[in-house]
Amino acid sequence: MLQNLKPSGFAPIVALVCGSSISLAASATNQSSNAKAVLEHGVRDAISILEKEKSGTASSVLSKKVRPIAEKIFNFESITRKALGQSWKDLSPEQQKQAVALFSEILIRKYVSHFVTDNKPQLTFLSPQDLGNGRLEISSTTLSGGNSYSVIYRLETSSTGWRVYDVNIEGVSLVSNYRSQFDSVRQRSPGNSEALLQAMKDSLQP
């Protein structure tokens, strides 16, 4: 059939293929730009909320205020699953839900308290890098209290759009850091999935 087509007959096909490729590339660029915009706005909004808070405010109070924004940026289910690593399979579906709730609370509380400072941190976000398989990496620099930190956000596509599944601060990955800690808990109490949940609950105790 292709042999029967005259050279001029290929033109519409070539145009269609080129057009599709260009529109796909443009769509991918738009998606990554959108991911950067969502991340940047989310982080800035969270900092704006925390700016109004006084240092010394309970982290549980800060967490409640920031959680709605954090849930728009972070995929806590994915972060928890990755951080728990092999321990994730040991948990029942009910325990997994509980783990996501507890771990997201730990993360929010740990991080919000560090942003309640007198100085507004200066954030610079760079262009997203495509990691393939529906993943992106957005590098940023946080300038706060006289020091500059390199913070890399790793995002993945989900049904709700781009969400962060790992944060890499100065070369140290959040997921890797917690995975090694959860692995230690798992090795200390093999087969005891409650020990993991208890470790998380203990971590939330004031």
Partner 1 sequence: MNSPGMERAVGLFVIGGLLCLGYFAFQLGSSEIRPSETYTIEARFNSVAGLNPGAQIQIAGVPVGSVGKLSLGKDFSALVELRIRKDLQLSADTMASIRSHGLLGDQYVSLTPGGDDRLLAPGERITDTESSVDILQLLGRFAFGSVNSDKKTSSPTPEKTPPAEEIPLKP
Q: Check residue 188 for interaction with partner 1 (CB under 8 A).
A: no
Q: Check residue 197 for interaction with partner 1 (CB under 8 A).
A: no
Q: Rounded to the nearest 5 degrees, what angle is found at the Cα of 91, between the Cα atoms of 87 and 97?
A: 110
Contact 135, 128 (CB under 8 A): no
Contact 196, 186 (CB under 8 A): yes
Count of C-beta atoms within a 10 Å radius of residue 176: 14
Among 75, 87, 104, 193, binds partner 1 (CB under 8 A): 87
What does DSSP say about strands 135-144 and 161-169: parallel, antiparallel, or unpaired?
unpaired
Judged by CB under 8 A, how many residues of this single chain contact partner 1? 58
Q: Check residue 145 for interaction with partner 1 (CB under 8 A).
A: yes
Q: Check residue 74 for interaction with partner 1 (CB under 8 A).
A: no
Exposed / middle / buried, residue 49 (Cβ in 10 Å: 0-12, 13-18, 19+):
middle
Q: Check residue 29 for interaction with partner 1 (CB under 8 A).
A: no
Q: Look up residue 4 and give its two tokens.
A: 């029967």
Q: How far apart, in whole angstroms, are the C-alpha atoms of residue 19 and residue 59?
A: 52
State in angstroms the smallest separation of the CB of 11 from partner 1.
32
Q: Check residue 138 for interaction with partner 1 (CB under 8 A).
A: no
Q: Check residue 97 for interaction with partner 1 (CB under 8 A).
A: no
Q: Check residue 94 for interaction with partner 1 (CB under 8 A).
A: no
Q: Check residue 135 for interaction with partner 1 (CB under 8 A).
A: yes
Count of C-beta atoms within a 10 Å radius of residue 7: 6
Interface contacts to partner 1, rule CB under 8 A: 81-82, 84-89, 106, 110, 113-119, 121-122, 129, 131-133, 135, 137, 142-149, 152, 154, 166-183, 185, 199-200, 202-203
